[in-house]
Amino acid sequence: MSEVLRYELGSGSVLVEVDEDSYGVDHPLRNEQGIVDAGRRLEDALTAVRPAAAAAVEALAELAPEHMEIQFGVKLSGAAGAIIARNSADSHFIVRMAWSAGSVPGPDEE
C-alpha cells in the first residue's frame, strides 16, 4: 500500500507516492482526499542530500576523469524529507568514470 505526500514548490505543489510505512509520515495530517501534507517545500527536502552528492564528487574528482557520472536514488519520506535510497541490495551510489587513451595518469604521475 502507498501514501501520497504533497510537497510545496516555488509555484505550486507536487504529489509524491511513498510507501505507507514510510519514515516520518504522520497519518493524521491527511486531507479530505487522503493526501498527506509533507509540511515542507520540496527544495528544502532535497537540500538534505546535497552534502552527500558533493562529498562523492569531491572524493572522486582527484582521479581526474574526463567524464564522471554519479547516480543515486532520492527517496522522499514524510517529515524525514529526502534520503538516499537503496538502488540495489549492495549499493547506494553508482559511479561511472571515463578517460581517453593516454590521459590516464600512470603510477609515477600521481
The residue extents of the domains of the chain are: 2-98
| pLDDT reported for residue 52 | 85
Sign of CA dihedral 101, 107, 109, 110: positive
Strands 94-98 and 81-85: unpaired
Identify whether the C-beta of residue 9 lies closer than 8 Å to the C-beta of residue 24: no
Measure the CA–CA gap between 46 and 70, rounded to whole angstroms: 16
pTM of the model: 0.59
C-alpha torsion angle, residues 43, 38, 25, 16 (rounded to 10): -70
Per-residue pLDDT tens digits for 30-81: 666 777 777 778 888 888 888 888 898 899 988 888 999 988 888 776 666 6
